[in-house]
A and B are shown apart, each in its own frame.
Chain A
């Protein structure tokens, strides 16, 4: 058996995959105050329908798919269709029910309120 047929044979056993979307991590800002954690992510070109935000067991998963329509012949392309993916661990004290997400001009804003018991409490000092 010569070399060529051997290569071809091995190739037949390999599974051909469909083309997957290129993944990119969006740039994020994370802020926190006493009431909430605020996350802001840049996802240019992503529409509301294509965003998913998942909070599960202390893990926050962001995903946004960008589908751009193209016109004409590309002279240069620096960005294309992409899936913005990023995962964070969030404290268990987040009030998952009241998380608010907002998408405007390709920027995702996520308000994650802290649950009542996790908020800092001011302790009043009584004079005896």
Chain B
């Protein structure tokens, strides 16, 4: 029986410790780290935020140039694809390669249609920020009481 919230917090703290130990164990055995507790593949993780008339998306795209990314929008369908090319530098021998290399693609179905003409995308510190204004029909409307 928990009597305080701190009890629950402590329980999760212990679980976090276990997870860290497990993560360290897998890197000890030379296997790449994958956030197995969240997703199968650790690349292109995404966050979606909603405000009244727009969606905000954040995607992890470390080391990607803007030319290497491809964003497609149609109605409420969003597709992000790209290619990450980092070949072994010349004359180097390889000890570890854990970072994803090659092409990737991920598609999303947004909760509402977006106005594709006014979508803005910026790339900062390896995170892609997308601002997707909702289309006129999907915007919330104030109803006045007569």
Contact = CB atoms under 8 A, between A and B. Distances in A.
Range, interface on chain B: 35 or more
A46 B127 CA distance: 9
Interface range, A side: 35 or more
Contacts of A17: 6, 9-10, 13
Interface in A37-81: 38, 40, 42-47, 68, 70-80
Given A17-B9, A45-B125, A105-B123, A27 B98 contact: yes
Nearest to A40: B99
B125 A44 contact: yes
B72 interface: no
Given A28-B96, A31-B95, A45-B125, A74 B3 contact: no
Contact of A14 (B6, B62, B96, B123): B6
A98 to B, nearest CB: 18
B75 interface: no
A76 B47 contact: yes
A7 B86 CA distance: 57
B99 A28 contact: yes
Interface of B: 1, 3-4, 6-7, 9-10, 13, 16, 20, 23-24, 27, 32-33, 35, 38-39, 42, 45-51, 54-56, 58, 60-65, 86, 88-89, 91-100, 111, 123, 125-127
